[in-house]
Amino acid sequence: MQPVTPSVTQNFFVIPGVNVHQGDPDYSLLVNLSEKQLKQRWDTPEGQNILARWKSSGFSRDALDSLVGKIYDRTDLRGVSLIGEKLNGVDLSKIDFYKASLKDSDLTNANLRNSYLSEANIEGANFSFAKADGLYLDNADFNSKTSFKGVNISDINFTFATLLQESIAAQSRIIDLERKRPLLASFLRISCDYGRSFTQFFFWCFVVIAVFTLLYAFIPGLVAKLEMPANMFIKASLFDSFYLSTMTFITIGTDVVPISMLGKVLMMLEGGIGYLMTGLLVAILVKRTVGE
């Protein structure tokens, strides 16, 4: 594509080999492009050609630098869409990804040193063990699937990205817990996704109650209902067993009682699990209320 200025093509791409700085003739034009213009330029034949040639090279850095120029020493990929791309191990250092989309991309072990991810979409992106020295994160869109496992967060500039910083710090703590206390980490992952899922927590509470309900109801001689005022024991129904299981789980007494050693052991076991899950619920509520 022929340039329309000394530095920029008609689709607003910096000419390869050019490094635009403040004071250059095209600086104001480039930095004042709207979000729509930044994204639409990649839909032009020129933009599609740049992406196709970069991808066909295996995302080679040399190929990229031969296709796109720079603004303030950073390759201008603002607004680019790299959704779902395999970028693991790729050299993405000193690149401006402002308003870009890296949604669901794999950037494991990628080199992101001194790059900009300002207002980029990184939902579901995997940055595990990426090199992030000087990486600039500002108002990026992320979700619970965005992973920064193994990344040294002290190397990242989190300007206006406090929530993302907390999320990455939590991921680091999870890795540390998995290494030091694998059994506890497994329990927290299965029971409540490390405090992030109420649905998962209440599902397992229901499973525990249901399992003990069936044990109480269908193993003969475990429990019975105390009939007052005759002070007699009668066979507990399925609902009585469910009632006993629920009350035992939340550590509240009931008129359905164990009448055998096995029944007592099962009630003690369920009560212990219920006590543990209640403590876990408190921890989840505290996490949701005041943060990590």
Please write the tens of the pLDDT for every residue from 132-180: 999 988 888 888 788 888 888 776 766 645 666 676 777 777 777 888 8
User: pTM (2 decimals)?
Assistant: 0.65
- The most confident of the ranges 81-85, 198-202, 243-247 is 81-85
Residue spans of the domains in the chain: they are: 19-180, 188-290
Those residues whose C-beta lies under 8 Å from the C-beta of residue 279, and which sit 6 or more positions away, are none
Question: Amino acid letter at 92?
Answer: L
| Percent share of the chain, pLDDT over 70 | 90
What is the crossing angle of helices 261-290 and 238-249, to 10°?
50
The pLDDT, as a whole number, for residue 85 is 97
Stretch among 9-18, 33-42, 249-258 having the lowest mean pLDDT: 249-258
Q: Tokens 């020129």 appear where?
A: 46
| Percent share of the chain, pLDDT over 90 | 48
The pLDDT, as a whole number, for residue 258 is 82
Model confidence at 19: pLDDT above 90: yes
Stretch among 105-114, 126-135, 213-222 having the lowest mean pLDDT: 213-222
At CA 37, angle to CA 31 and CA 38, rounded to 5? Answer: 65
* 217, HSE (Cβ side, Cα atoms, 13 Å): 15
Average pLDDT, the chain: 87
- Distance set, CA 195 to CA 124, 146, 199 (Å): 19, 17, 10
Distance CA 228, CA 130 (A): 68
The pLDDT, as a whole number, for residue 52 is 97
186 vs 95, which has greater pLDDT?
95
The pLDDT, as a whole number, for residue 142 is 87
Candidates 123, 183, 168; CA nearest to 292 is 168
Candidates 178, 173, 202, 203; CA nearest to 189 is 178
Average pLDDT over residues 211-216: 93
The pLDDT, as a whole number, for residue 287 is 72
End-to-end CA distance of the chain: 51
Task: Lay out the sheet containing 70-71: strands in order across.
Answer: 19-20, 70-71, 74-76, 95-96
Distance CA 20, CA 6 (A): 10
Q: Which CATH class is domain 188-290?
A: mainly alpha
Three-state SS for 265?
helix
